[in-house]
Structure 1
Amino acid sequence: MNVPVLEIGGSHLTAALVSLEGLRVVRSRRFHLEPDVSSAAFVATMLEGAAWIDVPAGSTWGVAVPGPFEYDTGVGRYAGVGKFESLNGFDVRQALVTGLAQTPGQVVFLNDADSFGLGEYAAGAAKGFTRAVCLTLGTGVGSAFVADGVSMSAGPGVPPDGEAHFIVWGGAELEETVSRRAIRRAYAEKTGENLDVHEIAALVRRGTSPAIELWNHTFRALGEALSPYVRDFGAEVLVLGGSVAGSFDLIEAPLRKGLARDVVLRAAVDTEHAPLIGAAVYAVTTA
């Protein structure tokens, strides 16, 4: 069975066809989106991507979208968040259903971080575990708390709505310490140099002291912030994806020190395709 999927990020839309038999992406294509895109331009890009997939009428679609979003109704709620403001109150589901020549059957929406976590759980680094915490580290901190193949939004060890960025560490939300902008800001304050995260990571590899100090502090802090949640959720594995997690080999040691508990740490197997697979799996199990 092949499932059509759309995955929407802050600067892109990916259209894909996912095989459930092999839990693999049959084909995919990436389209550019600006965060300040108009609703008309957004719909045009979405329909171009959806038409490219070319599936029969009546197909069940999975659509992964960042929040704030009403996932049950398909309506955007992007007010004052610096992205997709034109979609605030906009019915994305209706635009997709009415805009395609081959009318979709059910259209199922889910959070993009949840789609990543479900994809890694089904076919990636969390496969074979019962309970997993999956994080995407980049412009922010995305998260999925997955138990028995279900992304949890409440319960022991689960932050509000399952979103780790609500976790407070050092008197501020976690993104003020661990995100790309936070790491860049902290390094600039420490050294006066404006470097990106991959450049700071390169300095860590070369043994540069200020970079090592900041790096170890940042990811030990991540471990300390997550530790009670990992414990109370009963997580067996913690998976890291996203652009920052590309330096997982440098992150693992300070992160483990902060966690101070026995949990498997793994880098995501496929940060690009995991959200597509997760959206497909969610669509057919929810529809």
Structure 2
Amino acid sequence: MKKIALGVDIGGSHITAALIDLEQKVEIEDTWSRSRIQSDGSAEEIINAWAETLNQASNGYDLKSLKINIAMPGPMNYKNGICKIKDQDKYKTLYGLNLKQLLASRLGISPSAIHFMNDAACFLKGEVFSGSLKGYDHAIGLTLGTGLGTSYMLDGKVKDSGLWNMPFLKGIAEDYISTRWFVKRFAELNGTAIKDVKDLVDNHVGTAHFETIFAEFSLNLANFIHKFIRKDMPLAVVLGGNIVNAEPYFVQDTRKHLAEIMGYSFPVKRSALGEKAALLGAASWQ
């Protein structure tokens, strides 16, 4: 039998799962399953929805014979599978619960088959495993979305950096490098509300405020990356998350600002795997 694992990526509003061929470094055909999750639901509703998605992704394989590796946002006791998320408008009902035991019970498998890992670290590991950072052994990863995920890799070992709350400008890094910054800043400049960065790109491209907000974001991002580089001295950085879908409006300027700050060009790469990165990274975790 092929060396396979069930890779899972849990976000604030979704769960994605697929069987991964670890030798070919690809998902197994017809196993991709993605579902929206009501993260404000009861613990039972959330666990049941997760279990249903995992059953769909197993596609006839016996879950009892599979290693199930799950990328999950923190804070969390990953080793024991205990959720520590609170005050984040998601998964409030899971706080303090042993998700490993609850999910295993719902699936009818041993808790020892389920492994939770930090989602930002899984994103970076996925890009090293089969994405834009293949061949690198020292790098950092940023996931730019609802929040800010940070991770680093040294000698093939990937860890969550937890720099979302690093002191930055007049607050913390996540205050300036996240969807909520775009929403807040656009309201300050334009006096109207946007839902997210996609809304900004779809409905306001070409306006003066559009250009201003991305100019500010690219400079903020470059300054944050520089702080990250000085801390961990990586050889490259990879960017992922939903905000990266707006790449044409900020990534090149971010590279330019970073080169001006550092005095030389530093590799700033876009995720090659997109939302599959964390899933592949989780599956490949040893």
TM-score, L = length of structure 2: 0.89
- 1:248-259 aligned at under 5 Å gives the runs 248-259=247-258
| Candidates 92, 96, 111, aligned match of 2:99 | 92
- The aligned amino acid for 2:169 is G
Matched, 1:41 2:40: no
Matched, 1:218 2:217: yes
Q: For the Cα contact (< 8 Å) 2:39–2:46, is it kept in 1?
A: no
- 1:94-173 aligned at under 5 Å gives the runs 94-103=101-110, 105-153=112-160, 162-173=161-172
Residues 255, 204 of structure 1: alpha-carbon distance in 2 compared, 3 angstrom cutoff: farther
Distance in 2, Cα, partners of 1:220 & 1:186: 14
Post-superposition CA distance 1:255-283 (Å, at most 9, x none): 1244223321111012211111100111x
- The aligned amino acid for 2:12 is G
**Deviation (angstroms), 1:78:** 1.9
Partner of 1:59: 66
Q: Aligned to 2:128, what secondary structure does the other structure show?
A: helix
Residues 30, 184 of structure 1: alpha-carbon distance in 2 compared, 3 angstrom cutoff: same
- Larger deviation, residues 121-130 vs 104-113: 104-113
**Deviation (angstroms), 1:233:** 1.4
Q: Aligned to 1:194, what secondary structure does the other structure show?
A: coil
Q: For the Cα contact (< 8 Å) 2:138–2:155, is it kept in 1?
A: yes
RMSD: 1.9
Distance in 1, Cα, partners of 2:117 & 2:215: 34
| Candidates 9, 27, 39, aligned match of 2:11 | 9
- The aligned amino acid for 1:277 is L
**Deviation (angstroms), 1:33:** 0.7
Distance in 1, Cα, partners of 2:89 & 2:199: 26
Gaps of 5+ in 2: none
Distance in 2, Cα, partners of 1:41 & 1:47: 10
- The aligned amino acid for 1:32 is R
Partner of 1:157: none
Matched, 1:279 2:282: yes
- The aligned amino acid for 1:14 is T
Partner of 2:175: 176
**Deviation (angstroms), 1:221:** 1.0
Post-superposition CA distance 1:70-93 (Å, at most 9, x none): 101001112222211111111111
Partner of 1:158: none
**Deviation (angstroms), 1:116:** 0.9
- The aligned amino acid for 1:200 is L
Post-superposition CA distance 1:136-181 (Å, at most 9, x none): 111111122122221135xxxxxxxx02312222121112112111
Post-superposition CA distance 1:170-229 (Å, at most 9, x none): 1211121121111121111112132342343467863x3222122111121111122032
Q: For the Cα contact (< 8 Å) 1:221–1:258, is it kept in 2?
A: no
- The aligned amino acid for 1:39 is A
- Larger deviation, residues 254-263 vs 226-235: 254-263
Post-superposition CA distance 1:47-71 (Å, at most 9, x none): 2122221433242210111111110
Distance in 1, Cα, partners of 2:112 & 2:159: 26
- 1:13-32 aligned at under 5 Å gives the runs 13-26=15-28, 27-32=31-36
**Deviation (angstroms), 1:99:** 2.3
Residues 3, 81 of structure 1: alpha-carbon distance in 2 compared, 3 angstrom cutoff: same
Partner of 1:159: none
TM-score, L = length of structure 1: 0.88
Distance in 1, Cα, partners of 2:151 & 2:137: 13
| Aligned length in residues | 274
Q: Aligned to 1:128, what secondary structure does the other structure show?
A: coil
